[in-house]
Amino acid sequence: MDGTRPHSPERIARELDWNLLRTFVVLAESRSVTHAAQELRLKQPSVSAALRKLEDRIGRKLIDRSPGRYALTDAGRLLYREAVEINGSVLRLSTLMREITDEVQGHVKIAVASHVVCPLFDEAIAGFHAQNPAASLSIGVLSSADAIAEVVAKRASLAVCLVRSHSPRLEYRRLYREYFGLFCGPPHPLFGRSDLTRGDLAGHKSVSFDTDRLHDVLKPVTLMRAQAELGEKITGSSSHLEEVRRMIVAGMGVGPLPVHVAGRDVADGLLWQVPPYTGLPAIDVHVVWNPAAVKNRAEELFLRALLDAIERTPIEARTYA
- Per-residue pLDDT tens over the stretch 12-32: 556 567 778 888 888 888 888
Mean pLDDT (the chain, rounded): 87
The alpha carbon of 254 is separated from its chain's Cα centroid by a whole number of angstroms, namely 26
CB 22 within 8 A of CB 79: no
Query: Average pLDDT for residues 140-164, to the nearest whole number?
Result: 93
Determine which of 48-62, 113-127, 242-256 has the lowest per-residue pLDDT on average: 48-62
Read off the DSSP letter of residue 52: H
Residues 6+ apart with CB under 8 A from 60: 73, 75, 76, 79
- What is the reported pLDDT for 1? 42
Beta-strand runs (E) in 162-233: 171-184, 206-209
CA distance 279 to 120: 25
Cβ-based neighbour number of residue 123 at 10 Å = 14
Length of the chain: 321
Determine which of 55-69, 83-97, 286-300 has the lowest per-residue pLDDT on average: 83-97
CA distance 226 to 240: 22
CA distance 268 to 58: 61
**Is 2 a residue whose pLDDT tops 50?**
no
Q: Which amino acid is at 246?
A: R
CA distance 50 to 20: 6
CA distance 251 to 238: 15
Query: Average pLDDT for residues 298-312, to the nearest whole number?
Result: 95
Burial class (CB in 10 A: 0-12, 13-18, 19+), 156: buried
CA distance 211 to 56: 41
Residues 153-198 have pLDDT tens digits of 999 999 999 998 999 999 999 999 999 999 999 999 999 999 999 9
CA torsion 98→103→106→111, rounded to 10°? Answer: 170
Task: Assign 33 a pLDDT band (cuts: 50, 70, 90).
Answer: confident
